[in-house]
A and B are shown apart, each in its own frame.
Chain A
Amino acid sequence: MRLFVLLWLMLLTLSARAELTVEISDAQESATPVAIIPFEGEAQAPEKVSEVVGFDLRRSGRFRPLPTDDLPELPLEVGDIHYEDWRDTGSDVLLMGRVDHNPDGSWTVTATLVDLLRREVMFTRKWANVSSRQLRRVGHQLADQMYEALTGIRGAFDTRIAYVLVQTVGGRKRYTLNVADSDGHNERAVLRSWEPITSPDWSPDGRKLAYVSFENGRSEVYIQDLYTGRREKVAAFKGINSAPAWSPDGRKLALTLSRAGSADLYLLDLKTRKLRRLTRHWAIETEASWAPDGKTIYFTSDRRGQPQIFRLNLSTGEVERVTYEGSYNASPAVSPDGRWLAMVDASPGQGYHIALQDLKTGDFRILTDTFLDESPSFAPNSEMILYAMNRNGRGELAVVPVEGGISQYLKVPDGEVKEPDWGPYRK
């Protein structure tokens, strides 16, 4: 038995080193230049914190860190800055810092953001007792703080994503549900299966994932605690069980069930386990997405022929159509600030793209020009959208800022990645 397990382990390690690779696009010309000085002492650390910050700011689409070679000087202290030398760089701010190794093996990271125009310190931050494994998170938190200082909007770099990896192993398809940092690092598997896994959805507290698993030969919905590994099957009714969506308060799960005949929306109270039917229609109703106030659910329905997005008022039961552009609109995703509706839109001859509708004005625009786009998911600050697409014949993930222009690609060399979901702010 042990020999068999050993052989199996070897098969796993030989074939399964997927390794999400991240490609950050060149910044747009319109992106704001920022100066980030390599931190003192970071070359000796396992992670270069200033680079984590630089990559984060670049993948937001809003900022363009200046190449180190283009920096007029590399000051290590605020007092070393010659402000006149920075005037022609186009950058109004400068980030500098240091990474110190402590006797107990931990690190201390200090960083200062300087306003080059006003010639004053905007903030200083310090992280003490940082383990090697936590260094990247410090970079993300620093990027978040810098982002907020510069835009007034909370950064969403210290976040994680979930997605499904599909690989062929020994002639069979193998599915893995993965969690990674939103920059693609620290990828880890939380579920492996020889049957499809789809539709992962983060709980608002960031501790659990709901998803659909076909491990028993059909679609069933599970909730898994990521840290204990405990799973619970919450929907295995007759027909399809799919599209789980946590309510913003984490107390309920919207689901698509076809137990009563056709695919309809249901609400499962996670405490009482009571099921409440939300739609009663012969058409397909699926892909629930909650408005941030928890009072409205957006969903896909083909009651008018082809799929379009509708919304349901949970207290009145009223259903209202939301999308009118394009012949196919599905997979709604409401931004956490309630302003935008992202979706998959298709029209004849135009392919499947991520589109955005302004929920206040109704303005509609196509956001992407990639191929076979699906599964849009907002970052918790509503500034970026993670989605799945196809490039060079393979499934990859991409991040597009709400202003447009893809800023980041995530892919694996030996498989496909799909069905992404952007997790909440980390506690």
Chain B
Amino acid sequence: MKRIMLAGTVTLLLAGCAGQQTKPDQSGAVPVEPVTEAEKQAGEHGGLPVTSGNRGGVEVIPIDQQEEGGAEGIEGLRPDEAQAGETQQNAVLAYPPVVYFDTDSDVVSEEGRQVLKYYADKLLAQPDVKVRLEGHTDERGTPDYNLALGERRAKAVRQVLELYGVPTERIEVISYGEERPAVQGHDEAAWSKNRRVELVFIK
């Protein structure tokens, strides 16, 4: 039986890349997107949703001491449209690729370990796939401390994956601190969904 349950976070991450944003409902499940390409790819990779492409593009604007003010007449860069290669997360997955944490904590829970065992097995079955662990925090507290806390969480997840046999060279760790919340909101319901490490699979 196909049970497609997507955590809001994952859908936001990938659906956002595809130019849409869906909001999670109370249970964390989201409407299913109609997919063809993704299912095909899922079949190929045995279920690991592999992403590609960076979302870069910055514009530097010098202050002209003679300038009036405001930012008129500035030609902007296009946002990176290299989203074509990204698959939508729609394969048959027992768990969304995300681990959640308690406030100020980097301890991986029992539940988290189950999720990581599942993905460790998948990674071991597909030696050409790497995993990037993206650490996040909720918005409370200070941004720079949270950047370090996010990294600590990602490293804690890395440690568990290594214990389950995933080679270190295939694991990348990165932190976004409080900068990329999965859920907008200023209460515990939102915060609990933002204290997380996401697993992103790369070929």
Contact = CB atoms under 8 A, between A and B. Distances in A.
B60 A191 contact: yes
B19 A171 contact: yes
B142 A375 contact: yes
Contacts of A159: none
Interface in A128-174: 133, 170-172
A214 interface: yes
Interface string A203-241: 000000000111111110000111111010000000110
Interface stretch (A66-74, A182-190, A270-278, A360-368): A182-190
B141 A193 contact: no
Among B78, B104, B179, which residue has the most Cβ atoms of chain A within 10 A? B179
Contact of A12 (B64, B65, B76, B148): B76
Contact of B57 (A190, A193, A262): A193
Given A192-B76, A393-B186, A133 B56 contact: no
Given A192-B61, A193-B58, A374-B143, A186 B19 contact: no
Interface footprint category on A: 35 or more
Interface string B30-58: 00000000000000000000000011111
B68 A192 contact: no
B151 interface: yes
A224 B63 CA distance: 11
B175 interface: yes
B57 A194 contact: yes
Nearest to A393: B186
Interface of B is mostly: loop
B13 to A, nearest CB: 12
Interface string B6-45: 0000000000100111000000000000000000000000
B152 interface: yes
A189 B71 contact: yes
A377 interface: no
A394 B142 CA distance: 16
Interface string A320-359: 0000000010110000000000001010000010000000
A263 B71 contact: no
B133 to A, nearest CB: 12
B143 A419 contact: yes
B58 A213 contact: yes
Interface in B147-203: 147-149, 151-152, 173-177, 179-180, 186
Contacts of A243: 144, 147
Contact of B151 (A16, A133, A227, A239): A239
Contact of B179 (A16, A192, A214, A231): A214
A185 to B, nearest CB: 8
B76 A9 contact: yes
5 contacts: A170-B79, A186-B69, A194-B80, A240-B148, A263-B147
